[in-house]
């Protein structure tokens, strides 16, 4: 029978210098606000891509043939579908630390950038190719959402101290801020202590002056 002392690591925790222990359950403290912004940008991208980009009126082709009116959205293009898959992968990679620690030889934001750059380029090519049909506001919003995902990923890669401007430094610090700060997490994890007892055993209560006698010692006449 072995004794478990403070120097021995508990079961389930990794030894110093060894591989990280597998994480069980969801831990939002491992995420940053920039990771959530990547997920939000991807959701907005999918919503804007599902909106009608442009519509074509019906017209006669001649000899009894007629082209019906159609409404085209972003998912009718293979380029936008491929860009959507890339952004979904970028979101899954950004949110992965909440479930597991996957070590990589490069910064994690670099992988997100590598997935977001082709998504932006594919969306840009599709939006520019649709300008001959008409200006698409939904297509422009879709392009801006993909650009926002890329911008947040770049902010996660740049240290706040290395930002060239104060505004960029503040944005980089915001993107690198934990979802749940250490102070709030520590305060939430500490159990509330028992309420102080009014009379503890072994302690004599402090007696005050008797009723009708002030502290000076004279009787009240």
pLDDT given at position 13: 42
Question: What CATH number is attached to the domain comprising 134?
Answer: 1.20.140
Instruction: Flag whether 124 is in a domain.
Output: yes
Band of pLDDT at residue 56, cut at 50, 70 and 90: confident
Whether the model pTM is above 0.75? no
Total count of domains within the chain: 1
In a domain, 204, yes or no: no
Residue 151 counted as domain residue: yes
Token pair 């509330």 is at which residue?
192
Output phi, psi for 72, to 5 deg: -110, 130
Q: Is the pLDDT of residue 16 over 50?
A: no
pLDDT score recorded for residue 163: 61
* CA angle (133 as vertex; 128, 136 as ends), nearest 5: 60
Q: Which of 163, 160, 183 is nearest to 173 (CA)?
A: 160
Which is more confident, 99 or 216? 99
Domain containing 149: what range?
28-58+65-182
Lowest pLDDT segment from 80-84, 119-123, 135-139: 135-139
139 inside domain: yes
In a domain, 50, yes or no: yes
Paired tokens of 88: 């979904």
- Higher local confidence (pLDDT), 203 or 113: 113
Confirm whether 159 is domain-assigned: yes
- 219 belongs to a structural domain: no
For residue 21, tell me if it sits in a domain.
no
């Amino acid at each position: 029978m072995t004794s478990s002392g403070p120097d021995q690591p508990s079961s389930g925790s990794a030894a110093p210098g060894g591989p990280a222990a597998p994480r069980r359950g969801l831990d939002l403290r491992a995420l940053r606000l920039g990771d959530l912004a990547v997920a939000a940008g991807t959701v907005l991208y999918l919503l804007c891509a599902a909106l009608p980009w442009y519509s074509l009126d019906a017209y006669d082709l001649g000899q009894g043939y007629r082209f019906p009116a159609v409404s085209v959205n972003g998912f009718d293009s293979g380029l936008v579908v491929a860009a959507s898959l890339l952004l979904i992968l970028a979101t899954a990679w950004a949110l992965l630390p909440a479930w597991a620690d996957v070590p990589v030889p490069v910064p994690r934001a670099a992988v997100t950038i590598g997935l977001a750059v082709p998504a932006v380029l594919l969306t840009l090519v599709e939006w520019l190719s649709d300008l001959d049909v008409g200006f698409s506001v939904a297509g422009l919003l879709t392009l801006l959402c993909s650009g926002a995902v890329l911008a947040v990923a770049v902010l996660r890669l740049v240290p706040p101290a290395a930002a060239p401007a104060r505004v960029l430094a503040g944005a980089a610090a915001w993107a690198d801020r934990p979802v749940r700060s250490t102070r709030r997490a520590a305060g939430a994890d500490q159990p509330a202590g028992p309420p102080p007892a009014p009379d503890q055993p072994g302690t004599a209560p402090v007696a005050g002056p008797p009723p009708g006698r002030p502290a000076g010692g004279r009787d009240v006449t």
